[in-house]
Amino acid sequence: MIQHPNFPIEPWQVRETHLDLDILAQTESIFALANGHIGWRANLDEGEPHGIPGSYLNGVFELHPMPYAEAGFGYPESGQSLINVTNGKLIRLLVDDEPLDIRYGQLRHHERCLDLRAGLLTRDTEWTSPADCTVRVRSTRLVSFTQRAVAAIRYEVEPVDTQARVVLQSELVANEELPRASGDPREALGATPALISEHHAARDGLAQLIHSTQLSTIRVSAAMDHVITGPEGLKVMGDSTRDWARVTVAVTLEPGEKLCLVKFVAYGWSATRSLPALRDQAMAALTAARITGWEGLVSEQRDYLDDFWAHADVELDGDPEIQQAVRFSLFHVLQAGARGERRAIPAKGLTGPGYEGHTFWDTETFVLPVLMHTAHRAAADELRWRHSTLPAAREQAQRLGLAGAAFPWRTIRGEECSGYWPAGTAAFHVSADVADAARRYVEASEDMEFEREVGLELLAETARLWKALGHNGDNGEFRIDGVTGPDEYSAIADNNVYTNLMARHNLLAAAEAAGRHPDRAGELGIGEEEVAGWVAAAKTMVVPYDEVRGVHPQSEGFTHHQVWDFASTPPETYPLLLHYPYFDIYRKQVVKQADLVLAMQLCPDQFSDEEKARNFAYYERITVRDSSLSACSQAVMAAEVGHLDLAYDYLGETALIDLDDLQHNTRDGVHLASLAGSWLALVAGFGGMRAREGVLCFAPRLPRQLRGLCFTVWWRGRRLRVEIKAASAGETATYRLAAGPALEIRHHGESVLVEEAQPVTCPIPAPPAGLVRPTQPAGREPAHREIGGRPADSGTPASPGP
């Protein structure tokens, strides 16, 4: 766990007060900067020491073969891996010929700060060389939200107490050596495939490299330019070779004199465009950045984030630690999707190589709900990317002998990249998750053009998949057999409740969308008979229920399996998938991540209040949270059924997953879905927000540890602010409409009309009395948090998972 003296609790920044080489890779992920287009890990400016070097471009990947000991029909033949592209971050410093390397000499001071309002990473270092010359270095780094192809660094050096000969080497470097991968199969590949040099040039302060990938044939252009200021006698020169370009600055500085280098970096990439086109694209972006200038880029960045935080901030009263964490989380969610623009949002964003840069269903289920209500255009763009991958999804369905489109479990370009078919190919719920995200976006935006152009085809092709995948049983009911739900500790099951309920939503939403766009439906070959078949399948969908236990089994027969022997499972053998055979796990009642609980969150009207309470308690006893996707859903449902203290504990786990490195793998990149889950735990959990038939519904209640919670959601062109306050007279919720037509909402089931400049305050009913807190498997309970926010005991955080 990263210790908190390294990260003081502050409301709008994450600050590192000393440098710990043992957690260097983790901090590289935490302080990473991105905009959805470009991602830079927070490697030290000088390049070494480092944990994992990382410069990423969204959609730039390499192919690699996927060998099998025993191949099977339909197995993916080729994988896709995000690659480390040309590094534009490097600014090496030599002081009297001694390179600044904090492993040598004496590091007198070190501080890095990620400013969440400014979108800047700053560093302040004072270092004494082995030759006893002390220099002060200040650097500031940004990846621009407004100029998506641009990143920039301001690097300043001054001697403290004696004259110093200073040399700066600002570089572009391709084909960096990377550390080897660990033995965990879920982590990144260790080696970056070689980039093939196609062009290099350097002149004075300007330089450019162009490379291409060997198998995916993606061309990448990186260019840099500089503004350099300092005393008289500055010397500047440039040179380049196939894999690096360098601009060297040399000068002698007296104490009090400063050398300042502003480095502008621009990228361009494409699988189809020519070398001259990519060369000119990067140079044009670089020219625009030079014209804007450093101060202009900083000002644009602040303006962009001022606008974002004005309508996306979540304010907490009573827990400064979670306040910091939720803003950190929102910042990373924004960085992952803001300028993705019809590209995927990977599970790690662009902060590290974890999961080979793949996108999972996590994006549609956990990340897009946050973006829909805070940065809705980014959500629409990600769904347009999914729409662009329909040809690959159709091919996958055809390969499996099915109609429609089967979206992959993990991918970069659209093809399935998982060789483990029980968790990958069989996870058909991914198609329903994509369809559900499209349906929810249209519901939130009322964007009928999007539904006509994108949403209807996504809904129809996935509805066709369900109709082909399922069948009518002996009693006429519609069954979906032999699939894997969200819980990866139960595979190839019949009638997984989550899958069946999401498929039902999918089928009905497709039928309704076809009715709203009959001409477009005709173009897609959707006829009345097909729509009637969708509706009939939805209405007769099997939803298993265990009458004896009074709960919904996760899938048919699940509650009859033997319960895992948690008492005899040593703590060091979690996560189970790394220590026990899947054969043993699959036939036991043990849950890796929320599955049935997630079904209750996303399909709330399919369960009664009593069923939710019984189901939640039942699955708490067997869920081990070997996945980072679990705690946020458990928080949401714990809050809904009245276990507010437990929900607060789960909030701590999902919000602090990376700041506290709870899963011990933040080194490979942040856990984007879990970070998004902190917003879900607060807004959908303690705010009780759900959308029902086009109406926003709230059922807010606060845990005793919080005195207040405020958030704003975007809904159908309006911004609604919700303020929940605890007082001695009881809790209240105030609803304010910033602008736009009056909005009807529901508060604990009662209709409320909110008009502009006329806030409405409603009392909050007390939670159910006499609830008994459910138990978790031995050693797997979340760390208990008390008033003031710090854990009351150490607890046992979940072990590494996705």
Q: How many residues does the chain have?
A: 802
196 CB burial (10 A radius; 0-12, 13-18, 19+): middle
Distance CA 797, CA 625 (A): 9
The β-bridge relationship of strands 120-128 and 732-737 is unpaired
**Core vs surface per residue 486-503: b (16+ CB within 10 A) or e:** bbbbbbebbbbbbbbbbb
For 246, the 3-state DSSP assignment is strand
Cβ pair 585, 793 in contact under 8 A: no
CA angle 593, 599, 602 (to 5 degrees): 115
**Alpha helix positions (H), 470-496:** none
Torsional sign, CA 704, 710, 711, 712? positive
Q: How many C-beta neighbours within 10 Å does residue 606 have?
A: 17
Buried b (16+ CB within 10 A) or exposed e, 749-780: eeebebeeeeeeebebeeeeeeeeebebbeeb
Give the 3-state secondary structure of residue 293.
Answer: helix
Q: Is 60 exposed, middle or buried (0-12, 13-18, 19+ CB in 10 A)?
A: buried
Helices (H) then strands (E): counts for the chain: 19, 32
How crowded is residue 529: how many other Cβ atoms within 10 Å of its Cβ?
7
For 268, 407, 456, 521, the CA distances from 524, given in Å and listed in that order, are 35, 19, 9, 5
Neighbours of 345 (CB within 10 A): 29
Query: Using CA atoms, how far apart are residues 572 and 450, in angstroms rounded to an integer?
Result: 49
Distance (Å, whole) CA 232 – CA 532: 81
Question: ω before 575 within 30° of 0 (cis)?
Answer: yes
Place of tokens 């935490």: 30
Give the separation between CA 211 and CA 216, rounded to whole angstroms.
Answer: 12
Cα–Cα distances (Å) from 96 to 2, 45, 136, 253, in that order, read 36, 19, 14, 11
Burial level of 652, CB count in 10 A (0-12/13-18/19+)?
buried
Cα–Cα distance, 124 to 17 (Å, whole number): 10
The region that residue 745 occupies, defined by phi over 0 for left and psi between -120 and 50 for alpha, beta otherwise, is: beta
* Residue 287 backbone phi and psi in degrees, to 5: -60, -45
Cα Rg of the chain (Å, integer):
27
d(CA 32, CA 53): 11
* d(C-alpha 448, C-alpha 665), whole Å: 42
Residue pair 458/438 in contact by the 8 Å Cβ criterion: yes
Residue 126 annotated in active site:
no
Distance CA 490, CA 558 (A): 9
Cβ atoms of residues 54 and 283 within 8 Å: no
* Active-site residue, selected from the candidate residues 356, 415, 416, 488: 488
Q: Which residues contact 568 (CB under 8 A, 6 or more apart)?
A: none
Residues carrying an active site annotation: 488
